[in-house]
Amino acid sequence: MSMMTLAVLGIVAFLVLILLGMNIGISLLLVGTIGYALAVSPSAALGLLRSLPASQAGTYALMVIPMFIIMGNFTFHAGLSNGLYNFCNKWLSRLPGNLACSTVAASTGFHVICGSIAATTATMGTIAIPEMRKYGYDDRLATGSVAMGGALGNLIPPSTLLIVYGIVAEQSIGRLFAAGIIPAIILLVLTIITIIIMVTIKPNLCPPPHKTPWIERFKTIIEIIPILILFLVVLGGMFSGLFTVNEASALGALTAAIITAIKGRLTWKNFVDIMQKSVQTSAMTFLIIIGAAVFCTFLNITGFPEKLASMIAGLDVSKYVIILIMTIIYLILGAVMDELPMMMMTVPIILPIAMGLDFSPIWFGVYVVLCMEMGAIAPPVGLACFILAGIAKDVPLGTIYRGAVPYIITIVVMIAILTFWPDLATFLPDLIFNE
């Protein structure tokens, strides 16, 4: 059996296992180990298992993941999401489809302090969907906007996907955090424009907007002060050079704990619950990272990434056509895989292709996260859509997917904009880090 055949069989075996319901991290670990044993030897595979998981889990850069997860769980228990939603609702009240626009904006903001698609979607879905349905919003618009809001925040630090990409691609996490900000703002604006276009074409999707007095708008500012403090501590300290990314994550977790205590929600029961959930989420994330490291080692030994990169780079077509091909590949993979393992598996293969096309690895990190966001709301997996199906139990999953389709198009438009103007991703990190 040739190495290329073995690599293809390994990828197919992994996809089959996750479709059968096996844990993603274990699937990666199992296929990677067996594949490495067949490619090299069983003793070499055992040696790989003895060394790689420990070295991978002990990577200093990975410390930011549990810290930001703890910070997100503290902010969730502090109940900051309600104040943020109320703030966005009041300030965007004059826009057509104002509650949907507010949901997307609030979800994006909550993701900044939470860093999780699942937590953001579940929290904002619980708050926003009943509110929108109360005012007669169509279920497609209500659920679609929550799903998009949950996914959109992936570009804004602290983003787990950007952290993992930085580790896999050996890039500065601080630069990646800065790179995601401008594209995230543009995507948020595009999403709001998408909502306005939808409700203008189909007015029956929602009632007309109402006008909130300015005095009521300014009153809501006090509700987002804790969020602004947390934002300034983490991002301000990191971008100013006062803290490293790891130090900022630890300080962010401490600040979130203090905010939770000040709001009177830091009971012993809540503290234990926060720690338990943080350990579970961190363990799940690290298992996927370790499994992906073993799987990627197996693929690398077969020479599959280099052969594929050489084949695609050798196509006699424009670099924009190649980016389109890569986007289609990510869209297909996103239909059957979760974001984290997809990133761990594809970045070592596709990053060299992008760099060969003169795209920077920082730009590629933002591009990949945009593709991950597309996968988070695309059928048949669509993590955000599945979470919403559990919250709005009387809304069919098909309705949720139909509501998400316009936002998939919005993300594709954003990818096109970023591809033709890559400086949108590289300008801010170059400015902040003086390069």
pLDDT in tens, 78-122: 777 777 777 887 888 788 888 888 888 888 877 777 666 766 777
Query: What sign results for the dihedral spanned by CA atoms 241, 247, 253, 256?
Result: negative
Please report the pLDDT score of residue 192 as a whole number.
Answer: 92
Is residue 338 scored above 80 in pLDDT?
no
Specify the higher pLDDT residue, 385 or 426: 426
State which amino acid sits at residue 116.
S
Query: d(Cα 373, Cα 334) in Å, to the nearest integer?
Result: 9
Please report the pLDDT score of residue 114 as a whole number.
Answer: 67
User: According to the 3-state scheme, what is the secondary structure of the chain?
Assistant: CCHHHHHHHHHHHHHHHHHCCCCHHHHHHHHHHHHHHHHCCHHHHHHHHHHHHHHHHCCHHHHHHHHHHHHHHHHHHHCHHHHHHHHHHHHCCCCCCHHHHHHHHHHHHHHHHHCCHHHHHHHHHHHHHHHHHHCCCCHHHHHHHHHHHHHHHHHCCCCHHHHHHHHHHCCCHHHHHHHHHHHHHHHHHHHHHHHHHHHHHCHHHCCCCCCCCHHHHHHHHHHHHHHHHHHHHHHHHHHCCCCCHHHHHHHHHHHHHHHHHHCCCCCHHHHHHHHHHHHHHHHHHHHHHHHHHHHHHHHHHHCHHHHHHHHHHCCCCCHHHHHHHHHHHHHHHHCCCCHHHHHHHHHHHHHHHHHHCCCCHHHHHHHHHHHHHHHHHCCCCCHHHHHHHHHCCCCCHHHHHHHHHHHHHHHHHHHHHHHHCCHHHHHHHHHHCCC
Mean pLDDT estimate for the chain: 82
Contact predicate 115/158, CB 8 Å: yes
Each domain of the chain, given as residue ranges in start order, spans 3-432
Tens of pLDDT, residue by residue over 358-368, are: 888 999 999 99
Q: Please tell me the least confidently modeled range out of 164-168, 378-382, 406-410.
A: 378-382
Is residue 336 scored above 70 in pLDDT?
no
197: pLDDT confidence band, cut at 50, 70 and 90?
very high
Q: Nearest Cα to 299, choosing from 75, 8, 51?
A: 8
Tens of pLDDT, residue by residue over 150-161, are: 888 788 877 778
416: pLDDT confidence band, cut at 50, 70 and 90?
very high
Is residue 274 scored above 70 in pLDDT?
yes
337: pLDDT confidence band, cut at 50, 70 and 90?
low
What global pTM score does this model have? 0.78
Please report the pLDDT score of residue 165 as a whole number.
Answer: 86
Tens of pLDDT, residue by residue over 163-194, are: 888 888 888 888 888 888 899 899 999 999 99
Q: Please tell me the least confidently modeled range out of 66-70, 250-254, 332-336.
A: 332-336
Q: Please tell me the least confidently modeled range out of 57-66, 131-140, 150-159.
A: 57-66
Query: d(Cα 14, Cα 30) in Å, to the nearest integer?
Result: 9
Specify the higher pLDDT residue, 428 or 55: 428
What distances in angstroms separate CA 206 from CA 82, 137, 197, 199, 409, one per listed residue? Answer: 22, 4, 12, 7, 21
Rounded to an integer, the average pLDDT of 213-222 is 82
Q: Provide φ and ψ at 390, rounded to 5°.
A: -80, -25
Query: C-alpha dihedral over 236, 239, 243, 248, to 10 degrees?
Result: 60
